[in-house]
Structure 1
């Protein structure tokens, strides 16, 4: 008796979920909603449209500096096996290389969004 009641409730709930799913769907389909997002490119147009080189350079600079930040993680382990003077010299050298690279990119104009 209990199994029959549980089965009936389960069947009724499955029917309700199916009916409510069919009733609640939107019938208005927009072109932008149905098309896949392709990094700002319209997938319905030609694939050989020119790509912004400036956007590409900014992305590469971001990846380079992001990867260099992961190099800070081993610095914690180096602190355990070296003395403070060696660690300080290593850390200052690394930060100076990053800073010089950032100033070089700024002087080259790669970080300007105006051109």
Structure 2
């Protein structure tokens, strides 16, 4: 029974060896010319802020959570659309209930002003 897993072990060892070999070759053969410009932190063209403890605005986290909620909605809509005919009327009504709950949530975050950037 263990002989069935030998090809998987060989593939794993080859992949790990290839990855480790590329990292080692890059470290040995890669150019090393550090200067102050290369060692500085890159912040998309902005000057680096020395205070790393500056708090983020709560709206950043709210928008991230809203994105996740509506992204998960698409994950549920795709398989439903694929099996739409097989689910029949029951599947259609269940998806309408699901979309109604999401619509209520969308209206709530709209009224709370989560989507407004000021």
Any idea what SS the aligned residue of 2:92 has? Answer: helix
Structure showing greater Rg: 1
What TM-score does the superposition give when structure 1 sets the normalisation length? 0.56
In structure 2, the partner of 1:95 is 99
**Please, which runs of 5 or more residues in structure 1 have no aligned partner?**
1-28
Counterparts of 1:1-115 in structure 2, within 5 Å, are 34-37=40-43, 45-83=50-88, 85-114=89-118
**Please, which runs of 5 or more residues in structure 2 have no aligned partner?**
1-34
Q: Are the structure 2 counterparts of residues 102 and 31 from structure 1 closer, same or farther at C-alpha, using a change threshold of 3 Å?
A: farther
Aligned alpha-carbon RMSD (Å): 3.5
> How far apart are the structure 2 equivalents of 1:57 and 1:71?
22
> How far apart are the structure 2 equivalents of 1:41 and 1:52?
19
Q: Are the structure 2 counterparts of residues 63 and 81 from structure 1 closer, same or farther at C-alpha, using a change threshold of 3 Å?
A: same
Q: Are the structure 2 counterparts of residues 36 and 82 from structure 1 closer, same or farther at C-alpha, using a change threshold of 3 Å?
A: same
- 1:50 deviation in Å? 1.6
> How far apart are the structure 1 equivalents of 2:46 and 2:59?
16
What TM-score does the superposition give when structure 2 sets the normalisation length? 0.55
Any idea what SS the aligned residue of 2:50 has? Answer: coil
